[in-house]
Amino acid sequence: MPELKQQPTLEDFQKYVALLERERGFENQTVIEKCVLLGEEIGELFKAIRKTNKLAVDENSDFTSVEEELADILIYLCSIANRYQISLEEAFREKEKINQNRVWR
């Protein structure tokens, strides 16, 4: 099993996810499949947030903690980025350059 180094960068996360996918047999899943799975994880995050905030939630629903759901989402984001050979760190930095010139109200 691959190990994620201490204080990883986004690039380290992406490399780790690529290794995990190979090890677990997920490397052939398509981007569409990954997007659907990401959508499911986002729904589970919302349920976890509802539960954390003491809002009504079906206790039989499949979700865990906010922390675990966020981690699942990060895994799928890395996976999708990897399939397009996108560096999440570079994409984030470039998007922030654009955002810095926007007027926020």
Q: Give 62-103 pLDDT, tens digit per residue.
A: 778 999 999 999 999 999 999 999 999 999 999 999 999 999
Token pair, residue 36, equals 């659907």
* Pairwise CA distance, residues 58 & 84, whole Å: 36
User: How large is the average pLDDT for residues 55-62?
Assistant: 80
Sign of the C-alpha dihedral computed for residues 73, 78, 83 and 89 taken in this order: positive
pLDDT at 57: 80
The b-or-e profile of 64-94 (16+ CB within 10 A means b, else e) is eebeebeebbebbbbbbbbeeeeebeeeeee
pLDDT at 104: 83
pLDDT at 21: 97
Q: Give 37-54 pLDDT, tens digit per residue.
A: 999 999 999 999 999 998
Domains for the chain: give ranges and CATH numbers: 10-100 (1.10.287.1080)
Model pTM?
Answer: 0.89
* Pairwise CA distance, residues 18 & 14, whole Å: 6
Residue located via tokens 């799928």: 76
